[in-house]
Amino acid sequence: MSERLEEIAAAMVAEGKGILAADESSGTIKKRFDAINVESTAENRRDYRELLFRSTEAMSNCISGVILYDETIRQNAADGTPLVEVIKATGAIPGIKVDAGAKPLALYPGDTITEGLDGLRDRLAEYHRLGARFAKWRAVIDIDIAARVPSAVAIASNCHALARYAALCQEAGIVPIVEPEVLMDGGHDIDTCYEVTKAALTKLYAELFGARVLLEGTILKPNMVIAGKKSGRQSSPEEVAEKTLKLFRETVPVAVPGIAFLSGGQSDEEATANLNAMNAAGQQPWRLTFSYGRALQAAPQKAWAGMAENVAAAQAAFSHRARMNSLATLGQWRPDLEQAA
Ligand code: 13P
């Protein structure tokens, strides 16, 4: 595996592959486990994540990298092998979430600022020693037009933090995934999502440029341009693809090697169909792939339900979603392939 930032970034968006986001914080994984009636213990978290990483065929063919949480990058598999080594054996690259979460932005009710810059240089050096070759930092931008959210200050502060994070990553030999997530939780329409995402991406690339970040050694992890869940409208894959691609052509430099979408609360098939529609729209300047958490893991979590006898079924469910999304990166997914499985 190359140590050059450009080559690591290129490998993260290799043809037909995408990223498994398995970096749920302690609070988030507890929520996911609550939903399947599993206690969130270190052992259960290990067993669950190990079953994903040991889905060898899917990992080798469809997954370029895995985003880990601090606990997982230090954890061993049941047989004592470090989980990082289990991942590397499949050919995938270990990555690490390094932000400390989104906190309320002082004096701006409804806005958040992502924390975690203090001490980050030392943490990155340790994560590099532990095997991480890329990192993730998620800024959260909510939309509530009536409440004037997001404010320009929230967008500027978050993009500035993303740029400082990205520069520290590159100094440490780690590829930064920059994630300015415009949430799809609100009641806004698709054009409002377009405008807010445009403001965020415009500011983001100005900040990255100012921070001297090498764009060839970064990956963008954005939301798709899509109507808010509470709008009561579901955007069609064609509309999502058209508006998302138009926006990226306006805002994302071609020096960026790849764009790996978050799923953001879309259903499994919706996330796959939308990615597929973008890749079916023809050649783009960047690779367009997935960095899904929920849209890759909801099915295996349900199938596993905390029971050892369900491991094979959970691996089959994960492998299926990985394969469907791999096809979507090539524009070769079709709804009937879901039924066939
Ligand atoms: P979702 O795909 O569930 O949105 O998670 C991806 C992620 O890593 C968000 O930071």
Domains of the chain: 2-340 (3.20.20.70)
Q: What is the pLDDT of residue 139?
A: 98
The pLDDT, as a whole number, for residue 193 is: 98
Q: Which residues line ligand 1 (CB under 6 A)?
A: 21, 23, 138, 179, 262-264, 292-295
**CA of 297, closest atom in ligand 1:** 3
Per-residue pLDDT tens over the stretch 278-320? 999 999 999 999 999 999 999 999 999 999 999 999 999 999 9
In this structure, are residues 120 and 98 in contact, taking their beta carbons and an 8 Å threshold? yes
Among protein residues, the one with the nearest Cα to ligand 1's atom 10 is 138
Which atom of ligand 1 lies closest to the CA of 290? Answer: 2
- Regarding pTM above 0.95, the answer is yes
What pLDDT is attached to residue 199? 98
What is the predicted pLDDT for the residue at 240?
Answer: 98
**Residue 82's pLDDT is what?**
98
CB 98 within 8 A of CB 135: yes
Please state, in angstroms and rounded to a whole number, the distance separating the CA atoms of residues 150 and 73: 34
Q: How far is CA 267 from the centre of its chain?
A: 15
Q: Could you give the CA distance from residue 45 to residue 162 in angstroms, rounded to a whole number?
A: 28
Letter for the amino acid at 112? Answer: T
| Average pLDDT, integer, range 222-232 | 97
Q: Separation of 290 CA from ligand 1 center, angstroms?
A: 10
| pLDDT of res. 341 | 64
**CB neighbour burial string for 37-70, b if at least 16 within 10 angstroms, e if fewer:** ebebeeeebbbbbbbbbbbeebbeebbbbbbbbb
Residue 339, pLDDT score: 84
Give yes or no for a contact between 188 and 150, defined as CB atoms under 8 angstroms apart. no
Peptide bond into 237 cis (omega under 30): no
Identify the burial level of 119 via C-beta atoms within 10 angstroms of its C-beta, where 0-12 means exposed, 13-18 middle and 19 or more buried. Answer: exposed
When pLDDT is averaged across residues 199-216 and rounded to a whole number, the result is 98
pLDDT at residue 144 in the model: 98
Closest atom of ligand 1 to CA, residue 295: 2
Averaged confidence pLDDT in the chain = 98
Average pLDDT over residues 62-85: 98
- The alpha carbon of 147 and the centre of ligand 1 are apart by a number of angstroms equal to 25
Task: Report d(CA 33, CA 35) in Å as an integer.
Answer: 5
Residue 207 pLDDT class (50, 70, 90 cuts): very high
Please provide the DSSP assignment of 147-208 as one string: GTBS-HHHHHHHHHHHHHHHHHHHHTT-EEEEEEEE-S-SS--HHHHHHHHHHHHHHHHHHH
For ligand 1, the distance from its centroid to the CA atom of residue 294, given in whole angstroms, is: 6
Q: Which residue puts its alpha carbon closest to atom 5 of ligand 1?
A: 293
Q: Would you state the pLDDT for residue 340? A: 66
Determine the distance separating the centroid of ligand 1 and the alpha carbon of 45, expressed in angstroms: 17
